[in-house]
Amino acid sequence: MTASAPVHPDPAAASTTESDGSVRSADVIVVGAGPGGSSAAYWLANAGLDVVLLEKSVFPREKVCGDGLTPRGTRALLDMGIDVSEQAGWRHNKGLRVIGGGLRLHLDWPQLSSFPAYGLVRPRADLDALLAGQAVKAGARLHEQTAVTEPVLDRAGRVVGVTAAEGPDKRPVTYRAPVVVSAEGGSGKLAQRLGLHRDDRRPMGVAVRRYYTSPRTHDDYLESWLELWDGPPGADHAKLLPGYGWIFGMGDGTVNVGLGVLNSSAGFQKTDYRQLLTRWLDATPEEWGLREANATGPTRGAGLPMGFNRSPHYTRGLVLVGDTGGSVNPFNGESIPYAMESGKFAAEAIVQALGRPAGPERERALIGYPTRLRQEWGAYYRLGAVFVKLIGNPAVMRACTRHGLPHPALMRLVLKLLANLSDPHDGDLSDRVISVLTRLTPALR
């Protein structure tokens, strides 16, 4: 998308702020300045639209995340013009270290034409502030400490704005625009007001993470544990715990350590996840330092809405991006690149829509956004839903770990599949296998 002169498709969008300051207008309102919202705001502003980006918190602010990005996330940042060099504070990683079944396998990121061959690590508090700042540089108007409360509907029930509580004194304000983007995260309050609730049949996960000072801080691989043990593996009293774990070196003297549990697991919603994390880490080597005395803060948790578990992604003037629309990859729990890509796809559809007159032509362009999501990820996410069900069975997970990890070639294909990194048109045999799998799978809606 290229920059152009600002446009105001509707007279209402071009109106100035009222004298009392309580009603403000824009071409597009984006609610939530996480990766999805900031990406949408960046691409919209870059196309010349007047964009208001509303964020309930103040940057920098905490978010629960593994802080590790695959090459897909790296590409999304590069597309937005973010400097991801190590000199700019990013830690580069070479690939994924997989641990399970008594084995340890190093899988370098694949060499592909569509993606860079390195991943990144950056604290989420830094990342979100950088992305919001990039949207502002493109022309978006960021309002922090602005908590959106309700959608504003016209007589036909179409969303034409939002009400919000702004600033420390929570003064009421109304923002009006012909299109509203909801990037509020998994809660999706605006979507819920329109009756768009999560589909419990779709994959869902819970993740918890904590930072520790550790000598492993400079590890240049993302580490994934396919088995979590309560006690030393192989010991008579050791038990296999539900879920999977990670250890990511932050390069600043700390590591980000966490675990995720899927709703296909028998332990989902029946587990004290913070205690589960502690029990796993107590079984790791003492010299890694992953003990209470070395923790730099509390354990934090969040939900992982996966596989389009809220839809439709567009209805009545409201566009859902990122976690609000359940865009988390069900194969690996990765959320940031999908939030950013969905923000870009949404922006492209909105730019097309606002270049058309209000009515059926505009709606046709906006409906193109959920169609694009289905084309991009629908089949892949359906495969992911099957994967989630399978690995929820501990026996299946143990069999996959013990029989899969000893075969590096197979695991390299699995890495491409789980991280959604393939070149369907000019890749190798593994890329073609993945392409055939997704082509034969009906897309999720």
* Cα-based angle 190, 368, 303 (whole degrees, multiple of 5): 40
Q: Are residues 420 and 324 in the same domain?
A: no
What pLDDT, in 10s, does the model give residues 112-164?
999 999 999 999 989 999 999 999 999 999 999 999 999 999 999 999 999 99
- Please answer whether residues 135 and 52 qualify as being in contact, where contact means their C-beta atoms are separated by less than 8 angstroms: no
Q: Are residues 364 and 425 in the same domain?
A: no
How many Å apart are CA 321 and CA 328, to the nearest integer? 11
Does a structural domain hold residue 236? yes
Q: Are residues 337 and 430 in the same domain?
A: no
Euclidean distance between the first and the last CA atom of the chain, given in angstroms as a whole number: 27
The amino acid occupying position 320 is: L
Q: Of 237, 270, 305, which marks where a domain is finished? A: 305
- Please answer whether residues 47 and 4 qualify as being in contact, where contact means their C-beta atoms are separated by less than 8 angstroms: yes
Mean pLDDT for 190-215 is 91
Cβ neighbours, 10 Å, residue 7:
15
Q: Are residues 30 and 47 in the same domain?
A: yes
Does a structural domain hold residue 359? yes
Q: Of 305, 329, 360, which marks where a domain is finished? A: 305
Does a structural domain hold residue 4? no
Of the listed ranges 145-149, 192-196, 236-240, 427-431, the least confidently predicted one is: 236-240
Q: Of 345, 361, 383, which marks where a domain is finished? A: 383
Q: What percent of the chain has pLDDT over 70?
A: 90
pLDDT of residue 240: 67
Q: Are residues 231 and 328 in the same domain?
A: no
Q: Are residues 328 and 422 in the same domain?
A: no
How many Å apart are CA 187 and CA 211, to the nearest integer? 25
What pLDDT, in 10s, does the model give residues 68-115?
999 999 999 999 999 999 999 999 999 999 998 888 999 999 999 999
pLDDT of residue 8: 33
- Please answer whether residues 127 and 32 qualify as being in contact, where contact means their C-beta atoms are separated by less than 8 angstroms: no
Check pLDDT > 60 for residue 21: no
How many Å apart are CA 310 and CA 322, to the nearest integer? 11
Model pTM score: 0.90
Number of domain units in the chain: 3
Specify which residues 68 forms β-bridges with.
121
Q: Name the more confident of 18 and 190.
A: 190
Check pLDDT > 60 for residue 12: no
Cis peptide leading into 60, omega within 30 of 0?
yes
Check pLDDT > 80 for residue 51: yes
Write down the mean pLDDT value for the chain: 88
Q: Are residues 209 and 265 in the same domain?
A: yes
Mean pLDDT for 330-351 is 96
How many Å apart are CA 406 and CA 105, to the nearest integer? 8
Return the closest-CA partner of residue 355 out of 2, 1, 5, 7: 7
Q: Are residues 21 and 140 in the same domain?
A: yes
pLDDT of residue 7: 32
Q: Are residues 246 and 355 in the same domain?
A: no
What is the maximal distance between C-alpha atoms in the chain? Answer: 74
What pLDDT, in 10s, does the model give residues 264-311?
776 677 778 888 899 889 989 999 999 999 999 999 998 999 999 999
b/e map of 294-304 (b: 16 or more CB within 10 Å)?
ebeeebbbbbb
Q: Is 52 helix (H, G, I), strand (E, B) or coil?
A: strand
User: Regarding beta strands 254-262 and 244-249, do their DSSP bridges make them parallel or antiparallel, or are they unpaired?
Assistant: antiparallel
Q: Is 27 helix (H, G, I), strand (E, B) or coil?
A: coil
Q: Are residues 195 and 320 in the same domain?
A: yes
Does a structural domain hold residue 416? yes
Check pLDDT > 90 for residue 321: yes
Does a structural domain hold residue 343? yes
Does a structural domain hold residue 5? no
How many Å apart are CA 402 and CA 421, to the nearest integer? 24
Cβ neighbours, 10 Å, residue 174:
15
- Please answer whether residues 96 and 414 qualify as being in contact, where contact means their C-beta atoms are separated by less than 8 angstroms: no
Specify which residues 96 forms β-bridges with.
107, 222
The amino acid occupying position 251 is: G
Cα–chain center distance at 188: 14
Sequence-distant (6+) residues with CB within 8 A of 367 are 314
Q: Are residues 220 and 282 in the same domain?
A: yes
pLDDT of residue 63: 83
How many Å apart are CA 52 and CA 31, to the nearest integer? 8
Mean pLDDT for 361-383 is 95
pLDDT of residue 349: 98
The CATH number assigned to the domain holding 168 equals 3.50.50.60
Q: For residue 241, what pLDDT band results from cuts at 50, 70 and 90?
A: low
pLDDT of residue 3: 36
Does a structural domain hold residue 179? yes
Specify which residues 431 forms β-bridges with.
none
Range of the domain at 346: 11-62+125-199+307-383
pLDDT of residue 439: 73
Mean pLDDT for 384-392 is 81
pLDDT of residue 6: 32
Does a structural domain hold residue 347? yes
Q: Are residues 235 and 373 in the same domain?
A: no
E strands along 21-124, which residues? 23-25, 28-31, 51-54, 68-69, 91-93, 95-100, 103-108, 119-121
Place of tokens 């004194």: 169
Cβ neighbours, 10 Å, residue 391:
18
